[in-house]
């Protein structure tokens, strides 16, 4: 084997090794990114269902209980803000619209439609526009047939 052939083989081998390393790194980065999104979503869902104030609001909002007016404004603001965080995750493509609808859409719609939830809050204010637009999107999503294949991270 001549020196030139050895040099060519070394270049080819090095290129293959570099390409394999790059592709492995890219695949691992994508996998880790996906895993972080899943973990963040699970943490959000847990916070949503396990926060005592949110549990209280969830119980009341299903019937638009007049007692919602007595829940402190800041607690209701935090609840609405949480739903806006979900909207931001959808807008940022961290979760799909279908997953957001399946897991949170019902509560977004109940919140948007509730008379008592908005007592003492500026329902039409600038800072609630994202929530209202998200509710409109969830309403549109609820009219579509459920495609279970789209419910994935």
Phi and psi torsions of 56, nearest 5°? -60, -50
Least confident stretch, 3-12, 71-80, 106-115: 3-12
Distances (CA, A) of 88 to 4, 12, 16, 94: 58, 46, 41, 9
Encoding tokens for residue 17? 């090794």
Question: pLDDT at residue 111 above 90?
Answer: yes
Hunting for tokens 């996998």 — which residue is that? 31
Question: pLDDT at residue 104 above 80?
Answer: yes
**Band of residue 146 on the pLDDT scale cut at 50, 70, 90:** confident
Question: pLDDT at residue 100 above 80?
Answer: yes
Whose CA is closest to 39, among 100, 80, 90, 94?
94
CA pair distance 38, 112, nearest whole angstrom: 27
């Amino acid at each position: 084997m001549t020196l030139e052939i050895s040099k060519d083989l070394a270049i080819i081998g090095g290129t293959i090794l570099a390409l394999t390393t790059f592709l492995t790194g890219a695949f691992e980065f994508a996998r880790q990114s996906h895993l972080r999104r899943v973990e963040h979503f699970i943490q959000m869902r847990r916070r949503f269902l396990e926060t005592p104030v949110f549990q209280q609001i969830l119980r009341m909002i299903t019937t638009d209980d007049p007692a919602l007016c007595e829940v402190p404004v800041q607690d209701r603001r935090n609840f609405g803000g949480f739903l806006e965080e979900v909207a931001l995750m959808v807008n940022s493509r961290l979760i799909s619209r279908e997953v957001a609808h399946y897991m949170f859409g019902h509560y977004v719609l109940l919140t948007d439609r509730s008379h008592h939830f908005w007592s003492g809050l500026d329902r039409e204010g600038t800072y609630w526009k994202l929530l209202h637009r998200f509710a409109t999107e969830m309403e549109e999503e609820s009219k579509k047939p459920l495609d279970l294949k789209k419910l994935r991270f």
